[in-house]
Amino acid sequence: MRHGKYRFIIGFLAVPVALYVVLVISPFVQDFQISMTDWSGLTPERNWVGFDNYQKIIHNDLFWKALWHNVLLLLIVPVVTLALGLFFAFMLNVGGRRRGSASVAGVRGAGFYKIVFFFPQVLSVTVIAVLWQQIYNPDPDDGLFNSLLGKAGLGLLQQTWLGDPNLALACIMAVMVWANVGFYVVLFSAGMSSIPAEIYEAALLDGAARGTTFFRITLPLLRDTVATGWVYMGIIAMDGFALVQLMSVNNGGPNEATDVVPLLLYKTAFRDNSQYGMAAAMGVAMLIVTLVFAVLTLRLSRRERIEF
């Protein structure tokens, strides 16, 4: 009977595990194998070069510059996105005026605001990139930002935005935050709605302010959700390929000011003499950095589970 139970479990797991190995694990293994060759991707010949590709990227200044941009994205975008998501979710669900006997209440029209916040999620990356390219357009007649600054009498603050090496990466970061914050507003709102109102009532009876209830009640009870969101946002920040490619000047410009590792990988594989081996080595390096980030995040967020 015991063996029959295990056969039943294995029967359910065999197909999903096999698909996971073939579709997820196998490409990583193949990528590592390609990184040990000088394959161009255009010919069947593959010469084994060992760790030469890794030595090349270690001495490649463009790689380290692109990796530094990924680190900036990793340090800034998740923090800003999750902070704004928590703030807006808290305001929508707990920040309204008390009505009747309710101890806590959301703002009026909270459901509508959630739809508005979530709206960027239904747009494709291409639409988002084109939309914000027009907003950042340096032409005072066509670009929204420069047009508003000009009409407000702040023409001296008009910028080339995506054409300025000092501003381009920050502009793309802002778009990444805008495109993702709505999802976390909805996610955190769902988590907050599951917190019993009695906990807030007890805190308010003790004289706790809303800021105190956020840091002492809401945030600790949402810690697992925040940790999961942090990992997802970290993965998005480590990628950044689509927005950077579509929005930046000359694929990572100006002067490589917005280049990121995935985009450099793409250019190495498909533009710079089709160096598939070196591109694969960059992919392995990015995988390692992403795994380290995920492990550290989950380790630091580990704690005893709070039951409520």
Dihedral, CA atoms, 141, 143, 145, 146, nearest 10 degrees? -40
The pLDDT of residue 82 is 92
The pLDDT of residue 174 is 93
Q: With contact defined as beta carbons under 8 Å apart, do 294 and 234 qualify?
A: yes
Closest by CA to 278, choosing from 95, 21, 49, is 49
Q: With contact defined as beta carbons under 8 Å apart, do 268 and 152 qualify?
A: no
The pLDDT of residue 307 is 53
| CA pair distance 50, 99, nearest whole angstrom | 69
Average pLDDT, the chain: 83
**Which residues, in sequence order, are bridge partners of residue 48?**
37
8-27 average pLDDT score: 84
For residue 65, give the H/E element and its range.
helix 61-94
Asked if the model's pLDDT at residue 154 lies above 90, the reply is: no
Asked if the model's pLDDT at residue 4 lies above 70, the reply is: no
Q: Residue type for 216, please?
A: R
Q: With contact defined as beta carbons under 8 Å apart, do 242 and 127 qualify?
A: no
Q: What is the pLDDT of residues 264-306, one digit of tens each?
A: 888 888 887 778 888 899 989 888 888 888 788 777 766 655 5
* 73, two tokens: 């994205």
Residues in CB range of 55: below 8 A, 6 or more apart: none
Q: With contact defined as beta carbons under 8 Å apart, do 137 and 162 qualify?
A: no
User: Which backbone phi and psi does 15 adopt, to 5 degrees?
Assistant: -65, -50
The pLDDT of residue 106 is 66
SS3 for 64? Answer: helix
- Token pair 């993702």 is found at 180
Q: What is the pLDDT of residues 117-150, one digit of tens each?
A: 888 888 888 899 989 988 998 887 778 888 888 8
Asked if the model's pLDDT at residue 211 lies above 60, the reply is: yes
User: Which backbone phi and psi does 249 adopt, to 5 degrees?
Assistant: -80, 125
Closest by CA to 258, choosing from 62, 103, 78, 12, is 62
Closest by CA to 190, choosing from 168, 144, 165, 221, is 221
The pLDDT of residue 207 is 74
- Token pair 């929508």 is found at 92
User: Which backbone phi and psi does 48 adopt, to 5 degrees?
Assistant: -75, 125
The pLDDT of residue 176 is 92
- Position 159 confidence tier, pLDDT thresholds 50, 70, 90: confident
